[in-house]
Structures are given as C-alpha cells and as structure tokens.
Amino acid sequence: MSSSSSEKPMRQQVEEYIVSLQESIVSGFEKIDPNAPKFKRDSWIRAQGGRGQSCVFAMPDPSSPAGKANTHTSVLEKGGVNISIVHGLLPPAAIKQMRADHSSIPFDPEKETSLPFFAAGLSLVIHPRNPNAPTVHANYRYFEITEPLKEGDTGQGKVMAWWFGGGCDLTPSYFFEEDAKHFHSVLKAGCDQHGADLYPAFKKWCDEYFYLPHRQEARGIGGIFFDDLSDEPHKHLPSGSSAPRPKTPSELFAFIKTMGDSFGPSYFPILTKRMSLPYDDHMRRWQLVRRGRYVEFNLVYDRGTKFGLMTPGARIESILMSLPEVARWEYMTEMGSEEGTEEWKLIQVLKTPREWA
C-alpha cells in the first residue's frame, strides 16, 4: 500500500525507516558511554517469514572471567533496541481479537480462515544503572492484513486493513519534575506538528494504559501511547473536532517518523544529567522494587507482550527483552509509605496523573 503509485509500498518505507532509526538510537547510547561494551547486534531470521535485529546491552556477569576483568561501571545496566519485519499467516484467534478495533477485517467464524499479515516495528527498553536515571520505553510499528492469494498467484495480495501504533513513556525510581516537563514537552511538540488533538488524547491514553490496577498506581510518569491509527474513526480522538489529524498512510507515517526522531531529544538529556549522580544502597533497593512493578505490568497487562507470545514463531528472547536484569519483590514493603520521603513523593505522582506540558 502507498499513498500514490510513484511511492514505495508502505511496508518498504517503514522497514527502511526503522532500520535507520535503530542504528541512530543505538549509536546515541554508545556515544554517551564510550568506554562500555558495544550493544550486541544479533540478527535473526523467522522461519515462518521475516527477519529482525536485536541490539542488546548487558555487562558480563561479575562472577564470569569477563566480569572479573571488567573495571568500568556502565551507564546502562540492561537495554535493548529491537526491530522486527515479519510476515506470514495470522491465526483466527488473533484475527478475532483485532476485529474489536478493526471491523473492516473480514472474518468468518465458521470457516476459521487465517489471513496474510505483515508487521514491522522498533521496540526499545532501557534500564539505567543509576537509580536517579529513569527507565524508558518506546515503540513505533506498522501492521497490515492482505487478501489471501489465489492458487497460482505470486506477490502481495490487496491490503484489506492497516494501522500504525506506538508510544514513548518514562518510568523513574526517583522523581524530578524538570525531567517530566522536558520529556513531555518534546513529545507534545512532535505531536503538535501533526494535529492539536494528538498530544492530549495520547497522553491521556498513556496514563490509562500503563496502569497497574492491583497496585492502584501508574507504571511511571507517562508520555504518549497510541494504537490502531488508520483512516477510520478512532475512539480516542474527538470525532467532532475541527482540528486536522493525520489519516492517510503517508500522513500517519510522517507522524510516526516525527515521534521516532523525537526519542533522542526527549531522553538523552535526562540520562546524561542523572547518570552520574551519587546514590546509596537504600536508593538501589527502591530502584529494584520499582523494577518489580515494571515486570508486573509487562507480564500481566501489556497487550504487546501477550500478542507477541501468541504469534506463531515468536522469538521469546526479543519479546522478553523489556524485563530488567534484576528486580525485587518485598512482602508488604514499607518503602514509599513514609510521608515526605523521596520514595513517597514518587508514589504521589504515580497515583494522581498530572499535566506536564
């Protein structure tokens, strides 16, 4: 699919962009900490169709020979910037789930037919070592479903349904208001280039999505979250608004590129400001407790994780890359409950979303 006959197919445009974005982001992290090991670049092929590259940062285990020889304390403790470009047949169960947001997808429950799909995206999660530096998550993706090819046909079937999704959010262990304002202001500026309604809607959606009901708190201080963006009416965007919004494939792809290009300016200044601040064992303990909450959300609620695990030929290591290397669960922890402490200040922000930009 493309917005004009002279353009490359949208799937090709997205593939080329996420490949370049991955290299740009990984290079940015490597420049911040030039003495640390490089990200491990792990290319893979999906047997059912497609490919990807996982760029993962991890220091060697301290008990290993390489770990014992290491003398550098890295800025990052664990991180991954992954891309996947996959295609194949979408099983009936996944199609049925998607039809809740895309009624245009043809589906006959009696025939239980699989449909060809293409999906491409970049997903990243960065867990810094210093408790003052926040964890960050971002993803930018494209999905399309095509008509099944008739026997003897070759190439690609007609696109029947397509959409873009993504987002970027910040999860601190210790709260710095200036960081929250900077992060959100960069995201808002990017959204505003494409429509005045986007940032308010996607910021609210992020606050609602990255929420742990059993804890009654948000996972972090939010950002933006969006999914199922196409030319169809969208339940998260005001239908009667006079403000223009991107609807065509080219318009939505331009929005995705703006947000992808905004990642570095939104996060790198925060990381460089916080990565060398002093911290103690108490702060490290709280960081690990907060990482435990991060794990709870990703494994219990995140629909991207769930969809990845149910996709045939799923690459489990890449899907679970988002989990921190170390986390902590304390029974009835007292941390965060004592009024006036830095930990308590964070909890107040997590329980009551605020406007930052």
CA distance 114 to 148: 9
Would you say the C-alpha torsion 241, 247, 250, 253 has a positive or negative sign? positive
Closest CA to 181 of 222, 239, 240: 222
User: What is the reported pLDDT for 101?
Assistant: 64
The kind and range of the H/E element at 350 are: helix 342-351
User: What is the reported pLDDT for 13?
Assistant: 96
Q: What is the DSSP string of 1-22?
A: --SSTTSPPHHHHHHHHHHHHH
Residue position matching structure tokens 């593939």: 15
Who's near 193: CB < 8 A, 6+ residues apart? 258
Query: 3-state DSSP call for residue 182?
Result: helix
CA distances from 111 to 88, 90, 117, 152, 153 (A): 19, 14, 18, 22, 22
Query: Is 137 assigned a catalytic role?
Result: yes
Q: How do beta strands 159-171 and 211-212 pair?
A: unpaired
Q: How deeply is 152 buried, as exposed, middle or buried, from its count of CB atoms within 10 A (0-12, 13-18, 19+)?
A: exposed
CA distances from 238 to 38, 85, 156 (A): 45, 32, 34
User: What is the reported pLDDT for 98?
Assistant: 72
Q: Which residues of the chain have pLDDT under 50?
A: 2-5
Tell me the helix, strand and coil percentages in the chain, rounded to 5.
Answer: 35, 25, 40
CATH of the domain spanning 10-351: 3.40.1500.10
Let me know how many helices (H) and strands (E) the chain has, helices first. Answer: 11, 9
Dihedral class, residue 216 (left if φ above 0, else alpha if ψ from -120 to 50, else beta): left
CA distance 31 to 345: 33
Domain boundaries, the chain: 10-351
Query: 3-state DSSP call for residue 175?
Result: coil
Widest pairwise Cα distance in the chain: 71
User: What is the reported pLDDT for 118?
Assistant: 92
User: What is the reported pLDDT for 99?
Assistant: 72
For 88-107, what is each residue's pLDDT tens digit? Answer: 888 877 777 777 666 667 66
Q: What is the DSSP string of 265-300?
A: HHHHHHHHHHTT----HHHHHHHHHHHHHHHHHHHH
Closest CA to 333 of 299, 295, 287: 287
Query: 3-state DSSP call for residue 318?
Result: helix
**Given 87, 102, 127, 137, which residue is catalytic?**
137
113, 92 Cβ separation under 8 angstroms: yes
